[in-house]
Structure 1
Amino acid sequence: MTILTQTSTVPVVEETAQLLLDHYVFPEAAERLATLLRQRLAEGAYDVDSAEELSRLVTVDLQSVNGDRHLRLIHHAETVPKERGAAALAAMRREFDASLGGVPRVELRDGGVAVLELTPMLFPLDWAAEPLAAALTLVARADALVLDVRGNRGGDPDTVAFVCSYLLDERTHLNTMYWRDGERFGQSWSLPYVPGARFGGSKPLYVLTSGSTFSAAEELAYDLQQLGRAVVVGEVTLGGAHPRQGWTVHPHLEASIPTGRAINPVSGTDWEGTGVQPDVVCTAADALDRAHALARTRLTDATG
């Protein structure tokens, strides 16, 4: 357990409050949250002796104003590098190596239905392009495809676009990101060309979700659903649509603060706070069998 003292707690909370004011995508909420953190600090609410407990208490307060699940004070058991985002990248790399690059399972089920599991994250594209291209090319020959993101907690929006590129026939506008200053924005599009073979934009496609599916994994499900390209099967997702950055505020603590918000070009909104609503609602445990059955029926009807 990492021991804290009041002299180490105060700068953590003060720096987190200032980062909110400087970077949070919603300035008015940032002011309310910074005031709340400083008030709670003065009241002694953060007088705890472990970094892990401080992270829990501050995270509860950070999410109390608008429920933004990307707003967190994250505890790391190992020492956090000081460079911005380095803590998350170091932990990510270990998971990447342990999960075959985020593609731990490719399976062919009865009836020509392929299953591709993407978990635990959609890793940075410069890491993940090679394993994803190999897996997506492999399943391109299937008659139907099930993407399983039930255990996926987010990742890189560029990787979302990369995956979508294999599931569409032409370059398509997927998302628009608006940033803190209210003037800059960036559009996300599928790619005109991909390494390997495309599954394409016409064969049956299903995306499995759970109550733990989060962030970029939600975007993958939401983008494909809004385009009418995929049927989402499973549970309502967690509801986190804001891209975030991380700042080291203590050797074992990282302040996670959203710096932008996503707007879908079809719906004109996003999944923040509501989650992605499945087209076919069932438990996460039943989602794969349900999607497989739906795919088999659709393929049988098509060959009639």
Structure 2
Amino acid sequence: MKKLYAGISLFTFLFSSAQKNDISIVLADITEKVKSHYIDKETYKKVDSLFQSELKKGTFKDLNKKDFADLLTQKLRTTIKDEHFFVKYLENYTPEKQMSEKEKEKLNNEHNSLENFGFETVQRLPGNIGYINYKGFASPEASEKTLAATMDFVANTHSLIIDLRENGGGENGMLLLFLSYFFDQKKDLYTTYFRHNQKTVADSTQPKVSGQKYLHKKIYILTSKKTFSAGEAVAYFLQQYKLAEVIGEKTGGAANPVDHFMVQNQYLLLVPAGKITALSTQKNWEHIGVIPDQEVKSEDALKAAHIKILKNIITSETKTELTLPEIKNLIYKLEQ
């Protein structure tokens, strides 16, 4: 039997060639998506240079598809310095052209409902303090009832803590709906420019919502380094309009919205495709993050907010279910 390349079997050679070809096609497709959609029209050159260099070095050789996607995400974020880039291998992906819009919406809503549309915990803390642990923004259509129930639950509290320490962002429509609960009237907050079609869209809160709005009360937002994108936007806009204080860590610094693409019916690709401009500042939090009013370690943020509210209750002589000695005792325990 003839040998091929000194001991390399024909199968190994063909598999290696096919794998290399498959990788090259994926990388070329990603480069093209960046070229046509990324907010900076010249960035694709860096992406192309990165991919060509890594191919020559054999960086992607022998990686399984999941590890390949993870490494692409890391390389893109590091090289372009944009944390919104994301690549994920979808093992059992069904091409969207085989699914109707209703089927896709139903599937997405079913998945999000398993996580209660991002609302992890809603409760009343001692001192009549509302607490919402919110981890991500699903579609407003699917989330509206859960959001309304959440806001109705905290409506009678005298102050509110919104925990965004694990919030990785999500849909813009849900961000605007959530923010609508804290503005008494419609508010034009920001514009979004999309490079691929050169359109600018105005983004505003809604004048009316399904649940009870939370107005003219103290709000405290908890943040961490993991607070990202739409999660950061809540902190940014409520802080800018002096509707909330931010307690915790500086956030991730990802303001620009993304477009979703399927690459070779195998990989989900997120590309930052627009630019947000806040009307109040003519800026955004990209690469900067939201700077807390009170900077503490993320694990200490809830305790810090609770203590601050309890001390304010004493100072303002606000009536709660707790007596003054009970409030002081609770502060003492929290500070230990």
TM-score by length of 1: 0.89
Q: CA–CA distance in 2 between the matches of 1:268 and 1:66? A: 23
Are 1:54 and 2:59 matched, yes or no? no
Pick closer, same or farther for the CA change 1:33–1:263 going to 2, 3 Å: same
1:11 is displaced (CA, Å) by 0.9
1:250 is displaced (CA, Å) by 3.8
Determine the structure 1 residue equivalent to 2:151.
136
**Alignment deviations for residues 113-162 of structure 1 (CA, whole Å, 9 cap, x no partner):** 1101112x111111111100111122121100001111111101211111
1:182 is displaced (CA, Å) by 7.8
**Alignment deviations for residues 82-122 of structure 1 (CA, whole Å, 9 cap, x no partner):** 339x9x98996455222222212111112211101112x11
Are 1:9 and 2:5 matched, yes or no? no
Determine the structure 2 residue equivalent to 1:265.
279
For 2:83, the aligned partner's letter is R
1:297 is displaced (CA, Å) by 2.3
Q: CA–CA distance in 1 between the matches of 2:61 and 2:150? A: 49
Q: Which ranges in structure 2 are unaligned for 5 or more consecutive residues?
A: 1-15, 319-336
Pick closer, same or farther for the CA change 1:90–1:45 going to 2, 3 Å: farther
Determine the structure 1 residue equivalent to 2:328.
none
**Alignment deviations for residues 38-70 of structure 1 (CA, whole Å, 9 cap, x no partner):** 343344332233112221332233223431111
Of 117, 122, 126 in structure 2, the residue corresponding to residue 101 of structure 1 is: 117
Q: Percent identity?
A: 25
Pick closer, same or farther for the CA change 1:104–1:95 going to 2, 3 Å: farther
1:7 is displaced (CA, Å) by 2.5
For 1:267, the aligned partner's letter is T
Determine the structure 2 residue equivalent to 1:69.
83
Pick closer, same or farther for the CA change 1:52–1:43 going to 2, 3 Å: same
Aligned residues: 297
Q: CA–CA distance in 1 between the matches of 2:205 and 2:195? A: 24
Q: CA–CA distance in 1 between the matches of 2:106 and 2:230? A: 19
Q: Out of 109-118 and 250-259, give the one that drifted further.
A: 250-259
Determine the structure 2 residue equivalent to 1:21.
35
Determine the structure 1 residue equivalent to 2:209.
194
Determine the structure 1 residue equivalent to 2:183.
168
Q: CA–CA distance in 1 between the matches of 2:208 and 2:285? A: 28
- SS of the aligned residue for 1:64 comes to helix
Q: Which has the higher helix share?
A: 2
Pick closer, same or farther for the CA change 1:96–1:182 going to 2, 3 Å: closer
Pick closer, same or farther for the CA change 1:158–1:80 going to 2, 3 Å: same
* Over 4 Å off, 4+ runs: 88-95
Q: CA–CA distance in 2 between the matches of 1:54 and 1:140? A: 47
Do the aligned partners of 2:37 and 2:196 also contact (CA within 8 Å) in 1?
A: no
Larger radius of gyration: 2
Are 1:116 and 2:132 matched, yes or no? yes
Determine the structure 2 residue equivalent to 1:233.
247
1:303 is displaced (CA, Å) by 3.2
For 2:76, the aligned partner's letter is L
Determine the structure 2 residue equivalent to 1:223.
237
TM alignment of 1:285-300, pairs within 5 A: 285-300=299-314
RMSD: 2.4
Do the aligned partners of 1:48 and 1:54 also contact (CA within 8 Å) in 2?
A: no
**Alignment deviations for residues 253-273 of structure 1 (CA, whole Å, 9 cap, x no partner):** 212111101111222211111
Q: CA–CA distance in 2 between the matches of 1:97 and 1:245? A: 23
Q: CA–CA distance in 1 between the matches of 2:36 and 2:197? A: 14
